[in-house]
Amino acid sequence: MARPFVFLYFLLLVLVSVTSVASDQSGEHEVYVVYMGGKGSSTPGTLRDDQARLLEPFSQRNGVVQVYKHGFTGFAAHMSKEEANLIAQEPGVVSVSRDKMFKLRTTRSWSFLKLLKFQQYLDNPIMSSTELHSSKVRGADTIIGMMDSGIWPESKSFNDKGLGPIPKRWKGTCQETEDFRASSCNRKIIGAQNYEIRNKTCRDVFGHGSHTASTAAGAPVPGVSYYGLALGTAIGGSPTSRIAAYKVCSDNCADSAILAGMDAAIHDGVDIMSLSLGPDSPIVNIWEDSVAIGAFHAVEHGIMVVCAAGNAGPSNSSVTNDVPWITTVAASTIDRHFYASVVLGNNHVIKGGGIQFSSLSDSPKYPLIDGVSAKVQSHNISDKLARNCQAGSLDTSKVKGRIVLCFSEISGSPTFSVIMNQGARGLVLVNDDKRIEDNIILEGFLTFPFSIISSKDGNAILSYIRSNRNPTATIRRSGTSTGFKPAPVIADFSSRGPSCLSHNLLKPDITAPGVNIIAAWSKMNPEFALPGQAPPDYVIISGTSMSTPHITGIAALIKSQHPTWDHSAIRSAIMTTAVQTCIDGSPILRLPGLEEATPYDFGAGHVNIEQVMNPGLIYETPITEYYLFLCNYGYNISTIKLIAKNIPEGFSCPKNANTALISNMNYPSIAIAKFKRYTERKVTRTVTNVGDEDEAVYEVTVDAPEHLNVQVIPETLHFTQKYQKLSFDVIFSTKYTFKSDIFGWITWSNGNYRVRSPFALSLTDRSSK
């Protein structure tokens, strides 16, 4: 039973007199986030009356951590679990949740993106790479709000050479904190604010925020490398966009800080928010998810929000940040390869992969041994364990001073520390998946010689060892090459669909480069520094954290060319122009196992910058569609009205609201849950003509697996004017019993444009609230 407010208020005042700072520090009180929905008619920057009343007792005891008053309403404060339970029952409160810690999702990539264009447009692309990065389309005056670990303003990537005055619509500030002065901002970094309570400075002491910001909007910097690797010009996707840095993380990110940064960014006037962070696992109660809350209100204010899908792959349903108003980004490889050559005593050279700075001689003079030959003499250790160099399986006296060949065929395969701690000279690791991903840069192992090779090459080395009495080898320092195939490949770590919110919504939306991306770093973090050297200015790291700012930068470019387009139009352009093939025309694969990727891995495919500026047709998702999503997800109208304070008069949830209706949201992809034999499901979509021609005729083609019937009505869309909207139905049916989820594509084309949407038909559903 709900307690009346007067009792709660009295209780809190009493608590003031008995609560001390010591009790807070003893762990009796924790930080809770109180979310109270939208602003409604109250003026941005002011407190709602009910918010002020709830805040007052906590303010009196200095327990308030954050106050949200611009784009939405609420606060974060130290309180007991009992207090949190009482506040949760008060009118006007949507949710009260313990302050959770989100994780950071931790330059060739832009050149690689230019290679990914549809083959039929190679001879006459709508926009060439040169045009795309010309001064007219480089994102000038688009403001990107980076929710991350701050920024390192001295990096050359953040110089403001050639930029004009700061846009007049900007309302943010450059907050002076400890070692960050107002002069640290310029015409590139136009704002910096700190909301991370443990490290009270806007300065990036971790490096992650500088890396993501320079990837999205860094100025061109020639001659950049990571200790000689990946030498080239570092540049952001939208190099003349402005950056507003909101420090909401150190190594982790608190709910309360994320919300504070997003609330401020709404007030300040950013165009796009970029969040390379997320929870450890999906959150199905949307109003306990800080990113979902902040993004909802950002979209209400016309701001696009781009987020990382997560690094929990390859497990199914591991994707996070999967509400429909967020653009969710997976991670994939590029064609740049960091090779570490293994030279055998017979001078045969094998190009493995990996990043290390070996000090071994180029001459193959070091003894070479395989795991079975180095096995300890014990009945408990099998040849299989030793072949895979399992902990405890190798004899230290046989390993010491030698290069060891280890296979990676079973769970718990060799760790670098196991081999290095036994005194090995180096490690040759047989792992087909890791050779593709090359995702190994480990603190403490940068100078340890290693190379990751294919199973074919591993067997060749094993044959050399067995045919020579004194086999020798060396591992050379890593080098850089381009044109590596296959590329792109979905990274092993990249989180996968289907969405835990509902299988009637396809997530992630898109994939972009996220493996071994070089970008700016903090001089205060020595994690990737070679022993005895200062932290580098630029480092190479991987994660959906790195793929997210690629999409952010592209979105900024689109926004600069189409300033009236909302977040959904920009997302549609990115999704419907994506490619599903590698640079050699073969299907995009996924790790592990190099199987063919599906929309659960990459959404609509790999971003294709050659087409995004001019997509032909777009799927627009008005805010009312998100209200209907909430209805169909299971929230009642009173809760939705509390959240969406500016909801249209007369709006109500459908009487038949249910999760199946989520499929009808006007999204650039189609997802249907619980699709079974002898069932028929129909969805409707509406597209807007934004092509160069006022009059245009589009024909549909369907790519579907055998036994699935897909009918599109009508099969032709005849537009008579620009910005005209036309709708079509898609009907799915089958008489066949499928054993696994079903994927396919619906493509509208008119000779100049190719507008492609994936569909995913799931046999089950995970919808819950």
Catalytically active residues, by annotation: 148, 208, 545
Spell out where 535-602 has E strands.
Answer: 538-541, 589-590, 595-596
Q: How far is CA 264 from the centre of its chain?
A: 22
Other C-beta atoms lying within 10 Å of the C-beta of residue 23: 14
Exposure string over 29-46, b if 16+ CB within 10 A, otherwise e: bebbbbbbbbbeebeeee
| DSSP-assigned letters across all residues of 240-303 | TSEEEEEE-BSSEEEHHHHHHHHHHHHHHT-SEEEE-EE-SS--SSGGG-HHHHHHHHHHHTT-
The pair of three-digit structure tokens given for residue 760, joined into one six-digit string: 């995913």
Exposure string over 386-395, b if 16+ CB within 10 A, otherwise e: bbbbbeebbb
The identity of residue 596, as a single letter, is E
Rounded CA-CA distance 69/722 in Å is: 40
Burial of 315 (C-beta count, 10 Å sphere; 0-12/13-18/19+): exposed
The pair of three-digit structure tokens given for residue 78, joined into one six-digit string: 């130290």
Spell out where 195-254 has E strands.
Answer: 221-226, 229-234, 242-247, 252-254
Residue 659 is given by DSSP the state: G
Rounded CA-CA distance 206/343 in Å is: 37
Residue 369: helix, strand or coil by DSSP? strand
Burial of 242 (C-beta count, 10 Å sphere; 0-12/13-18/19+): buried
On whether the CB atoms of residues 243 and 579 are closer than 8 A, the answer is no
Nearest to 175, CA basis, from 167, 164, 184: 184
Cis omega (within 30 of 0) for bond into 498: yes
| 628 backbone dihedrals φ, ψ, rounded to 5° | -65, -35
The pair of three-digit structure tokens given for residue 221, joined into one six-digit string: 């910097």
The total number of residues shown for the chain amounts to 769
Residue entry with tokens 């969405």: 499
| 412 backbone dihedrals φ, ψ, rounded to 5° | 75, 30
Rounded CA-CA distance 746/670 in Å is: 9
Residue 645 is given by DSSP the state: T
Distances in whole angstroms, Cα of residue 687 to Cα of each of 346, 412, 572, 628, 746 = 63, 50, 10, 19, 13
Burial of 547 (C-beta count, 10 Å sphere; 0-12/13-18/19+): buried
Rounded CA-CA distance 138/136 in Å is: 6
Nearest to 269, CA basis, from 301, 297, 306: 301
Instruction: State the DSSP H helix or E strand holding residue 60, giving kind and residue range, or none if neither.
Output: helix 49-60
Residue 230: helix, strand or coil by DSSP? strand
| DSSP-assigned letters across all residues of 121-149 | GSSS-SS-HHHHTSGGGS-TT-EEEEEES
Handedness of CA 621, 622, 624, 627 (dihedral sign): positive
Residue 563 is given by DSSP the state: T
Spell out where 166-206 has E strands.
Answer: 189-194
